[in-house]
Amino acid sequence: MSEEKTRDWLLSFQSHESGNTYFQKAKTICFTSGKGGVGKTSASLKFSKLLSDQGFKTLLIDCDYNLSNTAVKLGLPLDNNFFTMAITGKSFDEVLHKDGNFHLLPACNGSYELFDQSFDWAKIITDIISTHEQDYDFIILDSAAGLNKPALTLSAYCDYRFFVVTPDKSSITDSYSLIKILKNRYGVNENHLLLNKVSSKKQYCRLVKSLADTVDQFLSARLNILGGVPLKEGSVDEFDKELLNIAGSKIDISFSKMVKKFTEENIGTDVSLSASRPLFSGERIEQEVQSSI
């Protein structure tokens, strides 16, 4: 199949809004990044948890099929259930981790059986989405980082793509490369930006303006700004502990505002979150940049 036909096939199968408060078909979001270590998995977990806390039935799928980190971050036991579902026919419901409105489909960790298999990973995930899209309000993909076709295919398939980017040059450059390929090969014209580990509002505004202007000028594409997450000194485990367990922290408040902003602007739903103003606001790019001058 040519790249043009592949792009048209992907776009034809995308989910669409139904106009209902709780949707006839799930809205699909892919968390992606140009490089690993930027906080993508933590961000997808937090977003999923916040949506489920507000009454949205949410499925998170770990798409790094043999290096799963979602279960690790939640302290869940590791198993080989995904392999048995994908290859030997174990039921979808049997392999889910369920916590109220939040459901997780974890992948495997270093499975020899899965490593030795040859299969179409992107097709397995899109089949899961199409089969269960009426069972959820949101289906969120924690995509593998980097430039690989399965990850790009899943990103293009989804209704929304959230690029998690940190201030370092490699993260910015690699994410731009992904946006470029999604635009030129798959016809994707719009993405969302979530800046993580930001040390100051001045840095945040500078990076937002630089990325948005570059994507607009050279790709004629749109980069919607979700917001920023403040830098926290210490280990990733300490960040995750505050992110997932400490309500009212700066990190928690930042993500709560981003969820509220996204649902109001894209879903038409006012998610009432009891949180004060975050360290970095989710206002329009122009307003944020002007306020820093």
Task: Assess contact for 111 and 64: CB atoms under 8 A.
Answer: no
Residue 175's CB is within 10 A of a number of other CB atoms, namely 25
Closest CA to 142 of 40, 260, 53: 40
Q: Could you report the per-residue pLDDT of 7-30, keeping only the tens digit for each?
A: 554 544 443 333 343 668 899 999
Quote the pLDDT of residue 18: 37
Closest CA to 239 of 37, 36, 18, 10: 37
What pLDDT band is residue 67 in, cutting at 50, 70 and 90?
A: low
Residue with tokens 């090969």: 185
Quote the pLDDT of residue 246: 75
The predicted model gives 260-270 an average pLDDT of: 80
Residue with the bigger pLDDT between 112 and 240: it is: 240
The pTM of this model reads 0.82
> What structural domains and CATH numbers belong to the chain?
3-11+26-292 (3.40.50.300)
**With 60 as the cut, is the pLDDT of residue 45 above it?**
yes
Least confident of 193-197, 250-254, 266-270, 287-291: 287-291
With residue 55 as reference, give the H or E element that holds it: none
Q: Could you report the per-residue pLDDT of 158-198, keeping only the tens digit for each?
A: 999 999 999 999 999 999 999 999 999 999 999 999 999 99
Task: Assess contact for 84 and 93: CB atoms under 8 A.
Answer: no
The CA distance from 19 to 183, in Å, is 27
Separation of first and last alpha carbons in the chain: 50
The predicted model gives 106-134 an average pLDDT of: 76
What pLDDT band is residue 285 in, cutting at 50, 70 and 90?
A: very low
Quote the pLDDT of residue 245: 74
Residue with tokens 């892919």: 30
Q: Could you report the per-residue pLDDT of 209-234, keeping only the tens digit for each?
A: 999 999 999 999 999 999 999 888 87
The CA distance from 227 to 164, in Å, is 10
The CA distance from 250 to 139, in Å, is 26
Task: Assess contact for 30 and 158: CB atoms under 8 A.
Answer: yes
